[in-house]
Chain A
Amino acid sequence: MELTLWTYEGPPHVGAMRIAASMEGVHYVLHAPQGDTYADLLFTMIERRDRRPPVTYTTFQARDLGGDTAELVKRTIADAVQRFQPEALLVGESCTAELIQDQPGALAAGMDLGGIPMVSLDLPAYSKKENWGAAETFYQLVRGLLKSQVPPPGTPKPSPQRWLQEGRRPRVNLLGPTLLGFRCREDVREITTLLQEHGTDVSVVAPRLMSMSASTRRWPIRSAPGWSAASACRWCAPYRSASTPPKPF
């Protein structure tokens, strides 16, 4: 137990919300009590977004606890999928739901979601914080969505000289900038300009404002890691064509 008068980071599921809200086509079903909906205001008031984050909360109450909260989770997932028709679904829980152990991810895995990919998030609320939650969510999302595209073992790595052979400038991806990230927008602009001045183009910036359908398939190429993407970069690393460039800061 720790006395906290001010917390700079929120709980890990807020990190997951930052990833979900940064992307297009992702929806997050969060098993959480009603008060946890306060997190919406981080996006609508602090980030001043013109829409709510793509999150549906189960808002279970004490009187639900005696009954079937698992049923509530399933109903909420089914309703959210039908209403928002996401291209990928994140399913997770906040601190309180973690204690009641409904395992929403496992419940979702047993449901017919119409074929959309579902990523179950396991974000320990009593030992981890927001930035960790963001990194883990991004990692799980990348891994969950691209696992099927991992080249078979022994596939030769793409040549680092490919851009020369193809007669174009080299390109990198910037992974990690999110909504509610400190100066992420300015940093992306600055780094993109710096890279361009040095002859390198920026291909994908993710997760911030990245559309699920448009860009996921281009991820596992060269990436400049930073912000909340360390795990995702480590996972991508074996498939990249060159060694990781130095961190931007």
Chain B
Amino acid sequence: MGVSVADAAPALPELLKQSGQREVFCGLTSIVWLHRRMPDAFFLVVGSRTCAHLVQSAAGVMIFAEPRFGTAILGERDLAGLADANDELDRLVRDLLERRPEIRTLFLVGSCPSEVIKLDLSRAAERLTSQFNGRVRVLNYSGSGIETTFTQGEDNALQALLPLMPSSDESQLLIVGTLADAVEDRFVALFARMGLDVVRSLPPRRSSELPPVGKGTKVLLAQPFLSGTVRALVSRGAQHIQAPYPFGVEGSRAWMAAAAAAFGVDPALVAQVLDPLVERGRRALAPHRQVLEGKRLFLMPDSQMEIPLARFLSRECGMELVEVGTPYLDRMLMAEEMGMLPAGTQLSEGQDVERQLERVRAARPDLVVCGLGLANPLEAEGIATKWSIELVFSPIHGCDQAGDLAELFARPLRRRQLLTFS
């Protein structure tokens, strides 16, 4: 289908814009990591059996005794009458909350079917919040495939939390985007050593302990897919700290240094805290760089993390970039990253999967970062792959993780080498 060309940053060739079949999850997928981050929350998809099947397929085979996500599956009766559908939803939520008193926040997650039939989940959330009288907060957001891709679900979930964040002009650093708990602790400790004592996170570990926001808030994005959230925080008075994302040694250092600079921390102190980390991180990277150097990389559009990862893999691991796909390009969020890409990097936005696969076959890259539906078929064609979904589940942020992050990409190449030589 159609391929058109739009303008791009000066050092880069024109952006390849594509439309056709997109092979990417919908925003419901982010429930898989959000429910782990906030164990006192429950995510109730209002949708179809397809939605239920998608979330559990993306999550892999995990059956919890007390799962914190589920699907209210619409039946034919719900489609016939919206009044009934609202009653049914209320009944189902009441049953669920009675059985699960530990739930503090219930997210009603909209899907394609609920949106097409115009089931008003924001009214449902208001109605249910008042019914539960403060015991549980009921929120709603869209994770539908007609509105969102993959990681955009987190962007919408955070925006749903935003109105509940208290207003305060207290000076604070707000890290926005889900981090592994251990990684978050590490960042907080490092910032403390640089003299930043008030460091909070969105989403928080407990859904009911939301950070405040206001004129004293400086926002540091830990994930590159939070376009709506950062703009909403800015409209509440916060200031967005422009920085590359904390992937790799270079990105992580620049990310922490940008935050420190925003609070006027002496660069000498920043260097004193970060330089040893940079040193260690580079040493951890070195053996993986040997495997990755000179190898050609193709990133299919999937998690929205492609551009920062491409920057890390080219600059710190020596990989050559064949094509860097992204589901959508937010130039404000990618400003720093795009400036760091090597000249001549071909970016593509959107997807026509068959034509993109033709480009993969023609270029025969050494490694393709892609979704689970494409990986094994490409492997069968002799091309090594890395599953992009691993990148949202693994702790990859920070200088300390740079070696592990590089290892994720080196592993499939090492495995291939072993298979070839044995």
Contacts and interface: CB of A to CB of B under 8 A. Distances in A.
A2 B379 CA distance: 40
Given A11-B50, A51-B377, A95-B50, A126 B79 contact: yes
B88 interface: yes
B23 A50 contact: no
Interface of B: 1, 20-29, 44, 47-54, 56-58, 63, 67, 69-76, 78-79, 85, 88-89, 91-92, 95-96, 112-113, 115-117, 144-147, 149, 354, 371-377, 379-380
Contact of A11 (B48, B56, B88): B48
Q: How large is the interface on A (under 10, 10 to 19, 20 to 34, 35 or more residues)?
A: 35 or more
Nearest to B142: A62
The 3 closest A-B pairs by CB, nearest first: A35-B26, A40-B373, A35-B145
B2 to A, nearest CB: 10
A10 B145 contact: no
Contact of A7 (B56, B92, B379): B56
B146 A61 contact: yes
Contacts of B72: 1-4
A75 interface: yes
A34 B354 contact: no
Of the candidates A3, A38, A42, A124, the one having the most CB atoms from chain B within 10 angstroms of its own CB is A38
A45 B389 CA distance: 13
Contacts of B91: 1
A142 B123 CA distance: 47
Contacts of A76: 21
Contact of A65 (B53, B146, B372): B146
Given A33-B144, A37-B22, A59-B22, A2 B75 contact: yes
A59 B54 contact: no
A100 interface: yes
Interface of A is mostly: mixed
Given A36-B54, A41-B373, A5 B88 contact: no
A99 interface: yes
A161 B29 CA distance: 58
Nearest to A57: B21
Nearest to B27: A35
Contacts of A34: 22-26, 145, 149
A44 B146 contact: no
A36 B373 contact: no
B52 A7 contact: yes
A6 B63 contact: yes
B67 A1 contact: no
Contact of B372 (A45, A59, A83, A95): A45
A158 to B, nearest CB: 42
27 contacts: A1-B74, A1-B88, A3-B71, A4-B70, A5-B70, A7-B52, A9-B49, A10-B53, A11-B48, A11-B49, A14-B53, A34-B145, A35-B54, A37-B24, A41-B372, A44-B373, A49-B376, A50-B376, A50-B380, A52-B377, A58-B21, A59-B20, A62-B146, A76-B21, A96-B113, A124-B76, A127-B75
Contacts of B29: 35
A35 B149 CA distance: 7
A190 interface: no
Contacts of B54: 35-36, 38
A155 B100 CA distance: 65
Given A38-B57, A100-B116, A129 B49 contact: yes
B76 A44 contact: no
A36 B116 contact: no
Nearest to B54: A38
Nearest to B64: A5
Given A7-B52, A35-B29, A41-B372, 7 more contacts: A1-B72, A2-B72, A34-B26, A59-B21, A75-B1, A95-B112, A126-B76
B419 to A, nearest CB: 15
A209 B27 CA distance: 34
A108 B74 CA distance: 28
A157 interface: no
Given A38-B54, A51-B380, A96-B48, A127 B76 contact: yes
A60 B21 CA distance: 9
A125 B145 contact: no
Interface centre among B78, B88, B373, B375 (most CB of A within 10 A): B373
B23 A126 contact: no
Given A6-B63, A50-B376, A95 B48 contact: yes
